[in-house]
Chains A and B, each alone.
Chain A
């Protein structure tokens, strides 16, 4: 064929349906993650706590097991109440944080470092779809770690307890589901924003820990030094914990929040302030993400 005939011809093969394009990114990402032995082991290990909880629920409702353990009153063993489900959510959420610190930094930074973003965005694929595809990797994994086992345990307890327990305690199920989503959305946005702005993966992972743990220490230090509660506004774990406590218990508080997400009784801040700070943080992450995910690059 003559060279002058080799002009541009658009691709005329079959196109992936628009609704399925967003699934392309997680498909490859999950393939990558499956290859990491450490991540697979960590993911499996994160289900140890839900398995223990399952056993506790089962033992509490199994007469022969109780006889074997010589426990007459099952409620003496453990109470399946708000504290039980809050502890589960708190523990699993910290596991999700560790997972986000290991998986999150590898989502966007390699595309930016290797100038690969334009290759994505040159296809019929929007920035939003790109970000949603990257976030979906974290969202799916963290959902499997948090609200999915939580709701399964709630279902098991409701089934074994019977006589309207699930209906009477539907607040726990709602708390598990919506509480986990608050954490998942915030953590996904944080992880992607950090991944977009910090090109070195280990540093990006460390930054996620810094944001979570050092902000908590910073908030507590500010409270101690200033003898006030305003430092909690800088403490992400407190802010999320406040939302959870309200979701699980409404206005009548009896617990001091979840493990790692403590909200000491008597040190409450207005819920609207906690929500406002969380929304601000989420919006900031989205803004940072939008600034970096662009199909053009200015070379200086």
Chain B
């Protein structure tokens, strides 16, 4: 990519960054990112100085469940729906997309700039949220927690959770950017993706692999089995190797973005639709 293209991507990035982040309209996404931190903060405050009835290990398993059910299936998923599906569809509804399309910028650059801006915003929100929640959840253990982080598996787990949160933003971001481009109402597509992702534990092995959550779960350092009564319906499958999960997710995101760029080249505006 030559210098001009890079500058164009940076310009689109700056514009979109200002539009998607720090806007009043995104209040609910900030709330989503803050909710798990608030739970961990409450745990820290209420357990500090209290007689503890649980161990560091138990809290790490609790975090694994919280990460899977609240972060991956809740806050990050819906946060990405809000941030990425609006990149094109939002401008369409506000009748401002033609300004972007009339500039002497290739559509692929527009897609790349918008995606990178929303990705940066989602990473800035959800990765620190996951890390802060992890760090605060066991903070009330004091030195034992520090020891768990420094000499135990704590830091490595934290790294994995941060990586999984980042990859979730990359993967879901690409999916919902494409949904925003392809569908008039990206909510319908998002609902279908959500149902598919939540059905994942109950799907046969080969179908499990056609999802994002399968690869994200494979990277999680602590496994969380499906809770009863759903556990009897869950089908066990070997997790994907870490290299395959990371490379596969990045490749899938790249493919979706390429398709989005190709689709954006053909895109025409009809505000009256």
Q: Which of B78-86, B160-168, B199-207, B211-219 contacts A (4 or more CB under 8 A)?
A: B78-86
**Once the chains are docked, how many angstroms separate the CA of A98 from the CA of B66?**
25
Interface positions, chain B 1-37, Cβ under 8 Å from A, are: 25, 28, 32, 35-36
Contact with B137, one of A201, A209, A225 (Cβ below 8 angstroms): A225
**Once the chains are docked, how many angstroms separate the CA of A11 from the CA of B62?**
68
Contact A225 B66 (CB under 8 A): yes
| A-B contacts, 5 listed (Cβ < 8 Å) | A38-B188, A101-B191, A200-B25, A225-B42, A226-B43
**Once the chains are docked, how many angstroms separate the CA of A220 from the CA of B73?**
13
Closest partner residue, chain B, to A202 (CB atom): B187
Question: Shortest beta-carbon distance, A127 to chain B, in Å?
Answer: 25
Contact A207 B28 (CB under 8 A): yes
Q: Which of A19-27, A137-145, A168-176, A210-218 contacts B (4 or more CB under 8 A)?
A: A210-218
Contacts of A213 in B (CB 8 A): 73-74, 78
Contact B28 A101 (CB under 8 A): no
The answer, yes or no, to whether B39 is at the interface (CB within 8 Å) is: yes
Contact B191 A221 (CB under 8 A): no
**Once the chains are docked, how many angstroms separate the CA of A203 from the CA of B23?**
14
Contact B185 A214 (CB under 8 A): no
The answer, yes or no, to whether B190 is at the interface (CB within 8 Å) is: yes
Binary contact readout A193-234 vs B (1 if CB under 8 angstroms, 0 otherwise): 000000011110111011001100110111011110000000
The answer, yes or no, to whether B128 is at the interface (CB within 8 Å) is: no
The answer, yes or no, to whether A282 is at the interface (CB within 8 Å) is: no
Identify the 7 closest CB pairs spanning chains A and B, nearest first.
Answer: A205-B187, A217-B74, A214-B74, A202-B187, A217-B70, A221-B70, A221-B66
Contacts of A205 in B (CB 8 A): 185, 187
The answer, yes or no, to whether B271 is at the interface (CB within 8 Å) is: no
Binding site for B on A (CB under 8 A): 38, 98, 101-102, 200-203, 205-207, 209-210, 213-214, 217-218, 220-222, 224-227
The answer, yes or no, to whether B53 is at the interface (CB within 8 Å) is: yes
The answer, yes or no, to whether B194 is at the interface (CB within 8 Å) is: yes
Q: A200-B90, A206-B187, A224-B65 given. 5 additional CB < 8 A pairs? A: A201-B185, A202-B190, A213-B73, A217-B74, A220-B69
With A203-B82, A214-B75, A217-B69 as contacts: A102 and B35 at CB distance below 8 Å: no
Contacts of B255 in A (CB 8 A): none
Number of inter-chain CB pairs below 8 Å: 84
**Once the chains are docked, how many angstroms separate the CA of A213 from the CA of B53?**
30
**Once the chains are docked, how many angstroms separate the CA of A200 from the CA of B24?**
13
SS class of chain B's interface: helix, strand, loop or mixed? helix
The answer, yes or no, to whether B54 is at the interface (CB within 8 Å) is: yes
Contacts of A226 in B (CB 8 A): 39, 42-43, 46
Contact B32 A210 (CB under 8 A): yes
Question: Shortest beta-carbon distance, B230 to chain A, in Å?
Answer: 10
Contacts of B139 in A (CB 8 A): none
Contacts of B186 in A (CB 8 A): 202
Binary contact readout B230-257 vs A (1 if CB under 8 angstroms, 0 otherwise): 0000000000000000000000000000
Contacts of B35 in A (CB 8 A): 214, 218
With A101-B187, A206-B187 as contacts: A225 and B39 at CB distance below 8 Å: yes
Contact A214 B191 (CB under 8 A): no
Question: Shortest beta-carbon distance, A192 to chain B, in Å?
Answer: 17
Contact A210 B78 (CB under 8 A): yes
The answer, yes or no, to whether B89 is at the interface (CB within 8 Å) is: yes
Contact with B53, one of A214, A224, A227 (Cβ below 8 angstroms): A227
Question: Shortest beta-carbon distance, A121 to chain B, in Å?
Answer: 24
Binary contact readout B89-128 vs A (1 if CB under 8 angstroms, 0 otherwise): 1100100000000000000000000000000000000000
Contacts of B93 in A (CB 8 A): 200-201
Binary contact readout B54-78 vs A (1 if CB under 8 angstroms, 0 otherwise): 1000000010011001100111001
Question: Shortest beta-carbon distance, B88 to chain A, in Å?
Answer: 11
**Once the chains are docked, how many angstroms separate the CA of A227 from the CA of B55?**
13
**Once the chains are docked, how many angstroms separate the CA of A206 from the CA of B194?**
11
Contact with A202, one of B53, B85, B137 (Cβ below 8 angstroms): B85
The answer, yes or no, to whether B40 is at the interface (CB within 8 Å) is: yes
Contacts of B74 in A (CB 8 A): 210, 213-214, 217-218
